[in-house]
Amino acid sequence: MKIRKQLNNDGKVAAFFLLPSLIGFALFYLIPFVMGTIYSFKDGAVGGSFVGLFNYKELLASASFLKAATNTFWFTAINVPLVIGISLILALCLHQTVMFKNAIISSFILPIVVPVASIVMLWQILFDWNGTINLWMVKMGFSQIDWMKSDWSIVVVSLVYLWKNIGYNMIIFLAGLQNIPKDYYEIAEMEGAGRFFKFRQITLVYLTPTMFFVLLMSIINSFKVFRETYLIAGDYPYDRIYMIQHYMNNMFASLNVQKLTAAASLMVLCILILVFIFFAIERRYRKFMS
pLDDT for res 239: 84
Residue 51 lies inside a defined structural domain of this protein:
no
Q: How far apart are CA 37 and CA 265, in angstroms?
A: 6
Domain that holds residue 203: 59-289
End-to-end Cα spacing for the chain: 35
In sequence order, which ranges of the chain are alpha helices (DSSP H)? 2-25, 31-39, 54-60, 63-94, 101-113, 116-127, 132-139, 153-178, 182-190, 195-198, 204-206, 208-223, 226-233, 244-253, 257-289
208 in any annotated domain: yes
**How many domains is the chain built from?**
1
3-state secondary structure of 54: helix
Cα separation, 112 vs 160, in Å, equals 12
In a domain, 26, yes or no: no
- Is residue 32 one of the residues assigned to a domain? no
Residue 85 is predicted with a pLDDT of 92
Residue 90 located in a structural domain: yes
In a domain, 25, yes or no: no
pTM over 0.85, yes/no? no
| pLDDT at position 164 | 86
Regions in the chain scoring below 50 on pLDDT: none
Return the pLDDT at 83: 93
Task: Select from 125, 109, 106, 105 the least CA-distant residue to 117.
Answer: 125
CA 247 – CA 67 distance, rounded (Å): 9
Query: What local confidence, expressed as pLDDT, does residue 3 receive?
Result: 56
Amino acid at 44: G
| pLDDT number for residue 147 | 82
C-alpha to C-alpha distance for 197 and 184, rounded to whole angstroms = 12
Sign of CA dihedral 264, 266, 270, 273: positive
- In whole angstroms, give the CA distance from residue 240 to residue 153: 7
* Helix (H) or strand (E) segment spanning residue 281: helix 257-289
In a domain, 49, yes or no: no
> Is 179 a member of any domain?
yes
| 162 contacts 79 by C-beta, under 8 angstroms | yes
Task: Write the CATH number for 276.
Answer: 1.10.3720.10
Question: What residues are paired with 42 via a beta bridge?
Answer: 50
- The answer to whether the beta carbons of residues 65 and 265 sit under 8 Å apart is no
DSSP class of 239:
G
